[in-house]
Amino acid sequence: MMEGLAVAAGKVAFSLFVLLNFVMLLTWAERKQSALMQDRIGANRASIFGFTWLGLFHPLADALKMVSKEDFVPAGANRGLHAVAPFVALFFALISFAAIPFGDQLWIGRHPVNLQVIDLNIGLLYVFAAMSMGVYGFVLAGWASNNNFSLLGGLRAASQMISYEITIGAAVIGLVMVFGTINLQTIVHRQGELLLGFLPAWGVFYQPLGFLLFVTAAMAETKRAPFDLPEGESEIIGYFLEYSGIKFGMFLMTDFVETVVVAGLVATLFFGGWQFPYLYRDGFHLPGGGILVLSQQVVCVIQVLTFLSKLAFFCWLSLLVRWTFPRFRYDQLIRLGWQMMLPLSILNVVVTGGVLLLLHR
């Protein structure tokens, strides 16, 4: 029993370590990437004993600033809900990552350990449900602030997330039809096979349209530019308009956590997750027929590093989109979700079903 608790605690600790460190690095990478794209230097002022390390100390400076700022609550606000809202938003964003597998199995003695915080047969539904619950935090923040502009931002967040959650769900139905499961670990295992004898059987090759729809809708779900209508800084509209200090920092952190969760989902569903091409539990199976034997521990380390590399790539891609496209108008945002992406996702399901019927005749 104690061994099981220790293993579970270790997986939770590793998952939070990866998630929170990615969040911290993203606050730095966003500034540096935008600076490079705009021919600027970027963050480079924060230093410790004169060392700046390319601005890597700026996330620490941000944390100190957030903690030390005054926690302001506007007059007439609902103090209880105003305090709870950022915790609700951040909590559901953090637990969404728990069902995403970051490796296959690690044998500790005679006991196999699944490298996944919680192994659920309905893992995909769990992630979607947890992410969708976060909308309560944004709506509560807008309503409890006793500010019409905050309320408008909260309503925008709710309508945007509801609109694009439908497309997210419809976009992965085709993938579920292909792999026949909503268990994320099983989906990753199925992508370890080969197409045509040499091509990794990643979900993106089965569902290219589903991939494009999912990535677009998932970015809208994170409320990041060009889909950042609920924040709308230039319009003085935002669900966190009346927040300061650590509570404001928690909302900012929620956006980055959601970015990491989305990157993990894209890697898991469409790019093999922790799968490295031609790598199996006993080592590399080369196309020519040879086998490069590796120990189980080495294979496990390669798989975890593979997942982290894919996670970093899709986080970088999200930042690239963030600094490339201008913000949509609100009517454009809703029209894109309901009149373009949703019909395409339904068409993708119909076409996938037709192809599967033809192949199984």
Q: Are 230 and 156 in contact (CB under 8 A)?
A: yes
Reading the block at residue 275, the tokens are: 């799968």
Q: In whole numbers, what is the pLDDT of the chain averaged over residues?
A: 92
For residue 233, what pLDDT is reported?
Answer: 75
3-state secondary structure of 181: coil
Instruction: Verify cis geometry, omega within 30 degrees of 0, for the bond prior to 59.
Output: no
For residue 2, what pLDDT is reported?
Answer: 46
Mean pLDDT, residues 123-148: 95
12's CB contacts (< 8 A; 6+ apart) are: 98, 117
Reading the block at residue 116, the tokens are: 């996944």
Over residues 206-259, the pLDDT tens digits come to 999 999 999 999 999 998 889 998 988 778 788 999 999 999 999 999 999 999
Reading the block at residue 199, the tokens are: 């091509």
Of 38-47, 103-112, 160-169, 325-334, the poorest mean pLDDT is in 103-112
Q: Per-residue pLDDT for 1 more than 60? A: no
3-state secondary structure of 127: helix
Q: Could you say which DSSP state residue 337 is in? A: I
Q: What is the share, in percent, of the chain residues with pLDDT greater than 70?
A: 99
3-state secondary structure of 28: helix
* Start-to-end Cα distance in the chain: 49
Over residues 263-296, the pLDDT tens digits come to 999 999 999 999 999 999 889 988 777 888 998 8
Q: Are 232 and 225 in contact (CB under 8 A)?
A: no
For residue 361, what pLDDT is reported?
Answer: 62
For residue 3, what pLDDT is reported?
Answer: 52
For residue 232, what pLDDT is reported?
Answer: 81
Mean pLDDT, residues 183-199: 91
Biggest CA pair distance of the chain: 72
Mean pLDDT, residues 88-109: 92
Q: What burial letters (b/e) apply to 317-356, b meaning 16+ CB within 10 Å?
A: ebbeebeeeebbeeeebbebbeeebbebbeebbeebeeee
333's CB contacts (< 8 A; 6+ apart) are: 160, 220, 227, 229
Prediction pTM value: 0.94
- As beta bridge partners, residue 200 has 194
Residue type at 340 in one-letter notation: M
